[in-house]
Amino acid sequence: MFKRSVILIVGLLLLISCGGPQKDASGYWKSAKALADVGNYEGAIDQYNKILKYYPSDSLAPKSLLRIGEIKRSNTNQYQGAIKTYKKFINKYPKSPSSANAMFMIGYVYANDLKNQEEARQAYKSFLDKYSDHELAPSAEWELKNLGKELEDVIQADQLSEDKE
């Protein structure tokens, strides 16, 4: 009888640990933030992915996808992974106000992280075609105008044009 009870308890513990979510979406969000704060970016991404898996309709799901993109770009230098994540966000949440930001970030990553001017140009043009009135539109236009230029050269050119005015 004792052996049977132990087997039953161990079995239940295994089911619980391998089963569905152990937290609600906000619990995973807090865990992800805490892990990112101490530099455990893969652990943070794992927690954000759990929100996407177990709580896809929660308001934290789109935010989680954006955070994954930000971590991949800013903290782990997984630039292609960041672009893929931003594209996934745009496809999954096309009506979200943050879709414009994700689209802009695709151009930004191509231009500033990967130094791929052609892909950056296409991404920024797509952004401007769709979001010409967005608050990031002037930034996209500036990026297009200055693609491939060194920051020092851009600053000098801006100073020269200001001096002429």
Domain count, the chain: 2
Q: Which of 76, 93, 110 is the last residue of a domain?
A: 76
Residue whose C-alpha is closest to residue 128's, from 119, 137, 120, 116: 137
The whole domain housing 85 covers 79-165
Per-residue pLDDT in tens (0 to 9) along the chain, 165 residues: 545 543 434 333 333 334 456 779 999 999 999 999 999 999 999 999 999 999 999 999 999 999 999 999 999 999 999 999 999 999 999 999 999 999 999 999 999 999 999 999 999 999 999 999 999 999 999 999 999 888 776 776 666 566 666
Taking the whole predicted model, whether its pTM rises above 0.75 is answered as yes
Q: Which of 76, 96, 117 is the last residue of a domain?
A: 76
Q: 30 vs 23, 142, 155, CA distance in Å?
A: 10, 36, 40
- Pair (64, 85) in one structural domain: no
The three-point CA angle 115-41-17 to 5° equals 140
- Indicate if the alpha-carbon torsion angle 22, 24, 28, 30 is positive or negative: negative
Residue whose C-alpha is closest to residue 92's, from 125, 64, 122, 123: 64
